[in-house]
Amino acid sequence: MASEAVAQGHEAEHHALPAQVAPDVVARELVATTMGASGRFKAIAWTLGVLSIAGIVALVLKWLDQSDDSTRWGYVAALLSFLLSVAGGAPMVAMAPVMAKANWVRPVTRIAAMFSFASIVTIITLIPLVAILPPLVTEGARRRTIWFEAPDYSPHIWSIVGLVLLLITGIGLFYSAAIPDFASMRDHSMGWRQRWGKKFARGWVGTDSQWRTLRMRIGMFGTFYFLILVFVNFLITTDFGQSMVPGWRDAIFPMYHSISSFQAGVAAIVIALWAARRYMHLEKYVHVDAFWSLGRLLFALTLLWVYFFYSSFIVFWYGRSATDISTLNLLIRGPMMYAFIAAIILIWFVPWWILIWNKVRRSVNGMAIGAAVILVGVLIDRIRIFVPAWSVPPDQIHEKWLTKIPGTVYPDIFDILIMAGGISLAVLIILLMTRVIPVLSVWQVQEFNLLSKPIKYVRGQATMIAKPD
């Protein structure tokens, strides 16, 4: 099989298919990428490290300084939502091959799964917010939440549980798919990596039963992960968003949040792939084909985002009851109007015009640009939602609807440091992970090569893609 594949390697050029490489070569080369670290890598890692420490310090200081005033914490909430979106949304792609049996996605899954480690940062940002979250009952009046008669600590406890569960299942998803690669680390590397590989491979030799349990595990963790992600999105969006604003009753908002979280996740994966391809020289494995498919996915999600946004907007705009008006005034026309316009442009308009071209979706750099634009847009969108939501003073929080629209809250030095720090910490974690395990899943690249092979159909060129059950 392998030799035949190599023989057909030269044909693969004018296919949208990765060059067929022999499995052992794949293992050795991919494992090699984890070894050592270039000077550039070290420099980046150190700067990120410094930034993250600064961010954590700033978070502690802000907590000591402003713990009494919840209206100042909007930006931390926005950061929480953003990290949840990216770090939570990305691993969803990791389960695609099991669910959809899509072949192109196999090499991508590892990078996707790595993002689940970044959920640690999400939890860090959650801690102070949970403490500062206004109580359910203020001046005897119970504010509108999904916790109708529940005790006062309900939102806090459940959001913590949800995020921790998300982290655990995410790591579970990562690890269950990583075992064979730890095995190949054990076999093809030396030093601590080999020892770690030995430890984590847990005696993997690739027997039939081991493979079966592996696939079962991925499927299981994937399903759990999806359910928990939706659940967490629901909790965070209601407890840390909607219920902070009197009269904001937007049934679609959790869905909106989930969709744009998938969008951000896919965008992040595209950028990670681009970086891996560029700086780890993995052109042979990360082929344009993957970007092409991710591009279509991203495009669809972009349209879906604008659809979800419009479905809620038109109902508010048209219905125009007192609560609707106050919601629009706060979130769209209000203190964050310019952020809102920027978000629309960056999440929908620009990507739409970039990604609609097949040429762009087939190009690596074009995709990276589109993805970057989307990521920035999602961050701004989170800010325009959560900052006004938190800026509502707690003494109005239990009213029927918002009678007095609060002014714009601008970030103070703490907020800026915290956001920079949080994001760079997330990036740092992923960077470090690439030193521990190949950034592309070895066994899935091999499987990819095994299942898809270029064939000759009468006189024409085509690709046979096997779809095992």
Partner 1 sequence: MQQRRSLDQAYTNRKLLNGQLDTPKWWAPTVIVLGILVLIGIGVISVMINKGLGVTGLSRPVFWGLFITTFVFWVGISHAGIMISAILRLTQAEWRRPVTRAAELLTVFSLLTALVFPLIHAGRPWRIAYWIMPYDFGRGIYPNIRSPLIMDPVAIGTYLTGSTLFLYVALLPDLANLRDRTKGWRNSLYTVLALGWRGNPRQWKMQTVGGILLSALMLPIFVSVHSIVSWDFAVVPAVEGWHSTIFAPYFVIGAVHSGVSAVVTMMALMRWLWKWDDFIRPEHFDALARLLIVVATGWLGFTFLELIFALYGQDAPEIALREMQMFTWPWNMLFIIFFLTAYLIPVPMWLFKRVRTNIALMFWTSILVNIGMWLERFLIIVPGLARRTPFVYTWDSYRPSAVEWTIFIWSFAWVTFLMLLFSKFFPLVPLFEQKESQVFTDDVMIGRAKVPAVLREAD
Partner 2 sequence: MTSANFGGHNWGMVVDIDKCIGCQACVIACQAENNVPLNTQDRVERGRSISWIRIERYWEGDFPDTKARFIPIMCQHCENAPCEPVCPVFATYHNSEGLNVQVYNRCVGTRYCANGCPYIVRFFNYWEPVWPETLRNHLNPDVTVRSRGIMEKCSFCVHRIRRATRTARSQDRQLLDGEIQTACSSACPTSALNFGNFNDPNSKVSTMRKDQRHYTLLDQFATEPNVIYLAKVDTDRKVGAGEAASHG
Partner 3 sequence: MSTRSMLGLFQQPEPAADAMDGLKEAGFELGSFDVLTGVPYPEGAFGEYVPQHRLFRFPAFGAIIGFTLAVFLTSVTQLAYPVVTGGKPILSLFAMLIIMYEMTMLSAVIASVFGIIFESRLPNMKPGIYDPRITEGWIGVVITFDDDSRVADAEGVFNRAGAVEIKHAS
Indicate whether 253 belongs to the interface with partner 1 (CB under 8 A).
Answer: yes
Indicate whether 35 belongs to the interface with partner 2 (CB under 8 A).
Answer: no
Given 43, 141, 462, 466, the residue binding partner 3 (CB under 8 A)? 462
* Residue that the structure tokens 């071209």 belong to: 357
Indicate whether 137 belongs to the interface with partner 1 (CB under 8 A).
Answer: no
Per-residue binding letters, 299-338, with partner 1 (x by CB under 8 A): ----x---xx--xx-xxx-xxxx-xx--------------
Tell me phi and psi for residue 293, to 5 degrees: -70, -45
- Contacts of residue 55, defined as CB under 8 A and 6 or more positions apart, other chains included, come to 417, 418, 419, 420, 421, 422, 424, 425
Residues for the chain: how many in total?
Answer: 469
Given 148, 192, 410, 457, the residue binding partner 3 (CB under 8 A)? 457
Given 195, 215, 296, 320, the residue binding partner 2 (CB under 8 A)? 320
CB of 437 closer than 8 Å to CB of 110: yes
* Residue that the structure tokens 């070895």 belong to: 442
- Taking alpha carbons only, the member of 267, 269, 258 closest to residue 116 is 269
Indicate whether 401 belongs to the interface with partner 2 (CB under 8 A).
Answer: yes
Torsion over CA: 347, 353, 356, 360 (sign): negative
Given 249, 278, 284, 435, the residue binding partner 1 (CB under 8 A)? 249
Q: Residue 172: how many CB atoms within 10 A of its CB?
A: 19
Indicate whether 14 belongs to the interface with partner 1 (CB under 8 A).
Answer: yes
Is 238 exposed, middle or buried, given 0-12, 13-18 or 19+ CB atoms closer than 10 A? buried
Given 7, 43, 157, 314, the residue binding partner 3 (CB under 8 A)? 314
Residue span binding partner 2 (CB under 8 A) among the ranges 7-15, 21-29, 320-328, 363-371: 320-328
- Taking alpha carbons only, the member of 27, 74, 3, 6 closest to residue 393 is 74
Nearer Cβ to partner 3, position 309 or 390?
A: 309
Q: Which does 191 bind (CB under 5 to 8 A by kind): partner 1, partner 3, partner 2, none?
A: none
Residue span binding partner 2 (CB under 8 A) among the ranges 24-32, 313-321, 439-447, 448-456: 313-321
Indicate whether 325 belongs to the interface with partner 2 (CB under 8 A).
Answer: yes
Indicate whether 317 belongs to the interface with partner 3 (CB under 8 A).
Answer: yes
User: Within 97-126, which residues bind partner 1 (CB under 8 A)?
Assistant: 100
- Contacts of residue 421, defined as CB under 8 A and 6 or more positions apart, other chains included, come to 51, 52, 53, 54, 55, 56, 58, 59
- Alpha helices per DSSP H over 93-189: 96-100, 109-114, 119-132, 154-188
Instruction: Kindly list the residues in this chain that would bind partner 2 in the complex (CB under 8 A).
Output: 318, 320-323, 325, 400-401
Q: Contact residues for partner 1 (CB under 8 A)?
A: 1, 14-17, 100, 144-146, 148, 230, 234, 238, 242, 249-255, 303, 307-308, 311-312, 314-316, 318-321, 323-324, 450-451, 453-455, 457, 460-469
